[in-house]
Amino acid sequence: MQLPRVRWHIAVFLTPAVLIYSTVMIFPLFNTLRLALYAKVDQERVFVGLENFRTLFFDPIWSEQFWNALGNNFWFFLIHMLVQNPVGIALAALLSHPRLRFAALYRSAIFIPTVLSFVIVGFAWKLILSPIWGIAPSMLDAVGLKSLFAPWLGKEEYALTTLAMISVWQFVGIPMMLIYAALLSIPEEILEAGEIDGVTGLAAFWKIKLPLILPSIGIISILTFVGNFNAFDLIYAAQGALAGPDFSTDILGTFMYRTFFGFQLQLGDPHMGSAIAGAMFAIILVGVCLYLFGIQTRMRRYQL
């Protein structure tokens, strides 16, 4: 009849993580949300309730910028979903082919850009695509396609897509690695059983492997979503805080930065900036919830 022992070690092991996480993540998050409810009037910080959000969504000047940034953000996300993830899956499928030689070399080469800094990626690609010093125009020239070249980063209609493709180039290694791992974990017996039933080659991929890696694809999609809606670095490194040309590459991250910290003669407004940060948080939260409750719970899982 002994009382259950108090398991101190649980508390002891949890405390450091909880403390650090609270001070550097949870507190700043809620403080930012709180900051969004204030405004500066005559050097005094006053509580204004949801006024900042009303300005952000309904004032014609603010809302135009906000919807522009949100629209651009969705386009940015769409390109990643349509290009990065299918290419990542295709690369993983190729890499997991048992007869592929130098698989390790390809794997590392494709993954390397992921560990590069945004600044390096932005700068390198700006140079590659530069109409003046870049190698892109001369490479196209060498194959007689010079006419296809345009100063992509400087044209409203191409700039965002170009940046999205650069980002895809940088991060395609992540879906590739995750899917590759998922593909390797599929037992040989299942594939062999399929072969006996006459399911081979591409059919084996579509009918056996793909259903088995769907949960990984779901995780990749949600990681892409969160990553894209928090994106800022690449656009800032390549196009600056004004996200030119003419705001065509402005996404929520750059819009928030410009508003929060100010730019050139524009003064920073931490309160409106926090309101934008709050909106970003809400968008990501809704997206993640939709995925968690709408998709993941319905996804079929197979016992391997």
29 sits in which H/E element = helix 27-35
Look up residue 62 and give its two tokens. Answer: 């603010």
Residue 231 DSSP one-character state: -
Whether residue 245 has a cis bond before it, omega within 30° of 0: yes
Which one of 72-80, 92-100, 240-248, 287-295 is the stretch in contact with other proteins (CB under 8 A)? 240-248
Angle at 259 between CA 69 and CA 280, to 5 degrees: 50
Contacts of 234 (CB under 8 A, 6+ apart): 118, 121, 122, 163, 166, 167, 170
Determine, following the binding rule CB under 8 A, whether residue 268 of this chain makes contact with other proteins. Answer: yes
**Stretch in the footprint of other proteins (CB under 8 A) among 9-17, 131-139, 187-195, 222-230:** 131-139
Kindly tell me which residue out of 261, 288, 291, 296 binds other proteins, with binding defined by CB under 8 A: 261
Q: Tell me the window of 19-27, 132-140, 170-178, 180-188 that interacts with other proteins (CB under 8 A).
A: 132-140
Q: How far apart are CA 244 and CA 250, in angstroms?
A: 7
Whole-number Å distance between alpha carbons of 128 and 151: 11
133 binds other proteins (CB under 8 A): yes
Q: Are 282 and 265 in contact (CB under 8 A)?
A: no
Choose, by CB under 8 A, the member of 130, 190, 219, 284 that binds other proteins: 130
The site string for other proteins over 69-98 (x = CB under 8 A, - otherwise) reads: ------------------------------
Q: Verify binding: residue 57, other proteins, rule CB under 8 A.
A: no
Q: Does 218 bind other proteins (CB under 8 A)?
A: no
Residue 137 is a binding residue for other proteins (CB under 8 A): yes
Confirm or reject binding of residue 152 to other proteins (CB under 8 A): yes
Please, what is the minimum distance in Å from the beta carbon of residue 256 to other proteins?
A: 12
Report residue 207 as tokens: 């009918």
